[in-house]
Structure 1
Amino acid sequence: MAEDNKPLLIKRYASRRLYNTETSDYVTLEDIAGFIRSGREVQIIDLKSGDDLTRQYLLQIVAEHEAKGESVLPVDVLNDLVRSYASGVQSVVPQFLATSFEMLRESQSKMMENLTKVPHPMAAMPGFEAMRKQQEAFLKSMMGNMPGWPGPQGGKEAGSEGAPDQKAEDELAQIKAQLAELQKKLSKL
């Protein structure tokens, strides 16, 4: 487990192929994104020069997801990022972004803790545990691409690309149906 604490070293060869030094095989950008989503830090270095290319490849991963329509960054935020590069003054944007994401990670963690806390006032209600598990699964599927969030890939089967959106919609529909049923039961009490 101590190995998980240090970054996964990826070497870029002159051919631009990326080599995972732990598993001794070549990886793609999508593989690297998967490592990061699972909580693993990654460091990408150029084999010949020794230059750290991590930032460059992370930006490429973000750009590819944005180009596929998996937009996370609103246009206003992208404009502000470009402006921050254009200003000659030391920008507060990097510190602001780092702090904002850390606050988001903390609030997500607290939300998950609150979902799993026992006793919950409604814990004695029939079907509560199933609803709690579905809420947890829904949050994981919706927040899975956020840094530091234990995303849906833990239970994701290989080759199920494009399925997470449908899966999330199905889970949301199930949650809505269960909530409606619980409301009916509550109104009868």
Structure 2
Amino acid sequence: MADQEKPLLIKRYASRRLYNTETSDYVTLDDIAGFIREGRDVQIVDLKSGDDLTRQYLLQIVAEHESKGESVLPINVLTDLVRSYTTQATSTVPAFLAQTFDMFRDSQSKWVENMGQVNPSMAKGFEAMQAQQEAFLKAMTGGAPMGTSGPAPEPSKSDGEDLDDIKKQLAELQNKLSRMGK
């Protein structure tokens, strides 16, 4: 039986094929997305160079879902993410996203727990959604630990306004979730 605590190691061969080291077979991006939805962490490495390609493949999974019309990310959030790559907010955005998703996951877990008591079949759907959100978070932060290694740079006025907008959207989401749980 596979050790569920360790990430599932996927090796990418020069032919770009992805190899599951636990089951000794080739896998697709859909298979990897399935592992993640089931709550399994994955690590994808290039066989020749040893480079960690996990972030690249997780972002590809997210991009494919978005392009198929399975949109989770509003345009303004995507715009803010692109903007964060070109501003000094780059170092604060991963920590902010991680904290935001942690708070959202906590609220969602409480809500799912309450809904599971009312209707057990609904809880399974929300657990799958939670796994997808965790995959997105890993893709966006590269699995980086919370916080930064030094003092965060002072955000410029436009960066602060962007963060305020994101915080406002998060508060609205949390309010909607708390109302749904009542």
Q: Does 2:130 match 1:146? A: yes
Structure 1 residue 66, shift from structure 2 partner? 0.1
Q: Which amino acid is 2:122 matched to?
A: F
Structure 2 equivalent of residue 95 of structure 1: 95
Q: Contact conserved, 1:19 with 1:26, CA < 8 A, in 2?
A: yes
Q: Which has the higher contact order (CA 8 A, sep 6+)?
A: 2
User: What residue ranges of structure 2 are gaps of 5+ in the alignment?
Assistant: 134-182
Residues 24 and 109 of structure 1: is their aligned pair in 2 closer, same or farther, counting only changes over 3 Å?
Answer: same
**Partner secondary structure for residue 4 of structure 1:** coil
Q: Contact conserved, 1:11 with 1:21, CA < 8 A, in 2?
A: yes
Structure 1 residue 92, shift from structure 2 partner? 1.6
Structure 2 equivalent of residue 8 of structure 1: 8
**Where in structure 2 are the equivalents of 1:1-150 lying within 5 Å?**
3-88=3-88, 90-116=90-116, 132-133=118-119, 136-141=120-125, 144-147=128-131
* Percentage of pairs with the same residue: 68
Q: Distance in 1 between matches of 2:92 and 2:129?
A: 25
Structure 1 residue 100, shift from structure 2 partner? 1.2
Q: Distance in 2 between matches of 1:140 and 1:77?
A: 27
Q: Distance in 2 between matches of 1:148 and 1:78?
A: 17
Calculate the aligned-residue CA RMSD, in Å.
2.1
CA radius of gyration, larger in: 1
**Partner secondary structure for residue 97 of structure 2:** helix
Structure 1 residue 139, shift from structure 2 partner? 4.7
Structure 1 residue 104, shift from structure 2 partner? 1.5
Runs of 4+ in 1 over 4 A off after TM superposition: none
Q: Contact conserved, 1:105 with 1:148, CA < 8 A, in 2?
A: no
More off after superposition, 76-85 vs 86-95: 86-95
Q: Contact conserved, 2:2 with 2:22, CA < 8 A, in 1?
A: no
Q: Contact conserved, 1:105 with 1:147, CA < 8 A, in 2?
A: no
TM-score (norm 1): 0.64
Q: Contact conserved, 1:12 with 1:44, CA < 8 A, in 2?
A: yes
Structure 1 residue 107, shift from structure 2 partner? 1.4
Q: Distance in 2 between matches of 1:14 and 1:116?
A: 46
